[in-house]
Amino acid sequence: MGSLDTPFPECPQSNFKPLDPEEFRKQAHQTVDFIADYYKNIENYPVLSRVKPGHLLNRLPTTFPQDPEPLEEIFKDIQNTIIPSMTNWLSPNFFAYFPATVSTAGFLGEMLCTSFNSVGFNWLASPAATELESIVMDWLANLLNLPESFKFSGTGGGVIQGTTSEAILCTVVAARDQALEKVGRENIAKLVVYGSDQTHSTFGKACRIAGILPSNIRSIETSFDTEFSLDPVRVMHAMQADIASGLVPLYLCATVGTTSSTAVDPVNDLADVAERFGVWVHVDAAYAGSACICPEFRQYLHGVERADSVSMSPHKWLLTYLDCCCLWVKNPVLLVRGLSIDPEYLKNKPSESKSVVDYKDWQVGVGRRFRSLRLWLVLRNYGAGKLQAHIRSDVQMAKAFEALVDGDPRFEIVVPRQFALVCFRLNPAGRVDSVDELNRKLLDSVNSTGRLYMTHTVVGGVYLLRFAVGSTLTEMRHVDAAWELIKEKAGVLLGGI
């Protein structure tokens, strides 16, 4: 405990300059070289990290230094300790989850975003950050052929969120507050939300955070019959049953491209049902939304013009680096009503004139980054043509992988491919039991080589392997090599029976 008679330590005139422009130039160039080498050599690293929990704790000091350490020493640790303990998401042999795609333009945008460190909570704090975000959100809306009702040039608007979780949370709050104005704040326990058993788990989480009772979160069953898309008739029955028991249907989350198997919910038919009961419709197209920039995939968004909000994450398939989830709403006033704050220290003329967007009122937090630079760089530097070619090339590679699987009688495609995810499993003739176990073993033996990384899921009670094509550096040779490895390991497993 300090006491009054403890003197303050003598404070010498500090020569500490944490942002010396010339030092910055030198060290940032070195870092870019380091990153370029990482990208160049990434194929040599195991895709899935093989370290055991606690790995870093045993290898790095748990106390930090009193005196400065040279950058060279720190980079040595990154090279020798950090990178070997990573799961390398940017490896061309990464086929797990959904890819998190990147690009030079996206990186440059991120550099600029970080450099300016503009904290754009309201228009005045960063006019350029605010307006550029509105512009790129309209641009991307145009690329996706969204109606005017979602654009600033029309009556709606868009905002960049960190993740889909935040996009869903913000829209649930907007829908909730609108409903509670009608039925009374005390009736929050009556609000019911709807998704399918394939809806991303973040939906239930966002609803719980927003105060929806867990028992009022409906997870409607899907099956092989509809290829795991949500059946509007079931939704209607669920809503009717809830109304009959005195509850209030609030919000329906339709998914275009589910996480497990890229199933597409019929947005237009679901909107028919939702409209009857005055339910907010959100379209979650986190992954597949990027594909909808191609005219041949746009049909999957059919009916989106009838939704209240739609979100998709360019950080998945549109080369922008994390984090960038684009959310459009038809009625920004509802979003702002649910999320706005107005403390004295943020009051200013432009905001009071109501002629500007203050993005702090469109999201959970107050501070926000200049994320639109990334998207702007990507859209401008590549143009619609290159971005569409990028999507099509991934889909083409996935198609080719699907054909390889299809051509081997020991394997089967479990659900039809829609985008660049192939859902398959090993299911050799004559084996009816333990097929799940066989595939678990196959996945383990393939992933443990470090030569590729895939993940699994269970749909309709069937354990299957997910092969998601589209990591930025992936070429057809990587897909071919992956298939060779999968076949080889399957051969070993089957031979060993």
Ligand X SMILES: *Cc1c(COP(=O)(O)O)cnc(C)c1O
Query: Which residues are at the interface with ligand X (CB under 6 A)?
Result: 98, 163-165, 200, 202, 255, 257-259, 284, 286-287, 313, 325
Q: Which is nearer to ligand X, 289 or 332 (CB)?
A: 289
Q: How far is the CB of 170 from ligand X (least distance, A)?
A: 13
Q: How far is the CB of 178 from ligand X (least distance, A)?
A: 23
126, two tokens:
């960063």
Q: Which is nearer to ligand X, 326 or 404 (CB)?
A: 326
Q: Which is nearer to ligand X, 129 or 285 (CB)?
A: 285
Q: How far is the CB of 412 from ligand X (least distance, A)?
A: 24
Q: How far is the CB of 327 from ligand X (least distance, A)?
A: 10
Q: Which is nearer to ligand X, 101 or 259 (CB)?
A: 259
Q: How far is the CB of 140 from ligand X (least distance, A)?
A: 15
Rounded to whole angstroms, how far apart are CA atoms 440 and 425? Answer: 10
Residue closest to ligand X (Cβ): 163
Q: How far is the CB of 198 from ligand X (least distance, A)?
A: 9
Cis, bond preceding 20 (omega within 30 deg of 0): no
Contact 438, 493 (CB under 8 A): yes
Q: How far is the CB of 487 from ligand X (least distance, A)?
A: 28
Q: Which is nearer to ligand X, 238 or 468 (CB)?
A: 468
Q: Which is nearer to ligand X, 130 or 255 (CB)?
A: 255
215, two tokens:
């028992």
* Of the candidates 252, 271, 281, 266, the residue with the CA atom closest to the CA atom of residue 193: 252
Q: How far is the CB of 203 from ligand X (least distance, A)?
A: 8
Q: Give me the DSSP letters along 370-390.
A: -THHHHHHHHHHHHHHHHHHH
Assign 3-class secondary structure to the chain: CCCCCCCCCCCCCCCCCCCCHHHHHHHHHHHHHHHHHHHHHHHHCCCCCCCCCCCCCCCCCCCCCCCCCCHHHHHHHHHHHHHHHCCCCCCCCECCCCCCCCCHHHHHHHHHHHHHCCCCCCCCCCHHHHHHHHHHHHHHHHHCCCCHHHCCCCCCEEEEECCHHHHHHHHHHHHHHHHHHHHCHHHHHHEEEEEECCCCCHHHHHHHHCCCCHHHEEEECCCHHHCCCCCHHHHHHHHHHHHHCCCEEEEEEEEECCCCCCCECCHHHHHHHHHHHCCEEEEECCCHHHHHHCHHHHHHHCCHHHCCEEEECHHHHCCCCCCCEEEEECCHHHHHHHHCCCCHHHCCHHHHHCCCCCHHHHCCCCCCCCCHHHHHHHHHHHHHHHHHHHHHHHHHHHHHHHHHHHCCCCEEEEECCCCCEEEEEECCCCCCCCHHHHHHHHHHHHHCCCCCECEEEEECCEEEEEEECCCCCCCHHHHHHHHHHHHHHHHHHHHCC
164, two tokens:
């889909």
Q: Which is nearer to ligand X, 97 or 463 (CB)?
A: 97
252, two tokens:
């329906």
Q: How far is the CB of 199 from ligand X (least distance, A)?
A: 8
Q: Which is nearer to ligand X, 160 or 482 (CB)?
A: 160
Q: Which is nearer to ligand X, 98 or 300 (CB)?
A: 98
Residue indicated by tokens 């609000």: 191
Q: Which is nearer to ligand X, 84 or 460 (CB)?
A: 460
Q: How far is the CB of 371 from ligand X (least distance, A)?
A: 13
Q: How far is the CB of 200 from ligand X (least distance, A)?
A: 3
258, two tokens:
């589910």
Q: How far is the CB of 425 from ligand X (least distance, A)?
A: 21
Q: Which is nearer to ligand X, 93 or 255 (CB)?
A: 255
Q: How far is the CB of 257 from ligand X (least distance, A)?
A: 6
Q: Which is nearer to ligand X, 43 or 323 (CB)?
A: 323
Alpha helices in 42-190 (DSSP H): 71-77, 104-116, 127-143, 164-183
Rounded to whole angstroms, how far apart are CA atoms 208 and 366? Answer: 22
Q: Which is nearer to ligand X, 123 or 317 (CB)?
A: 317
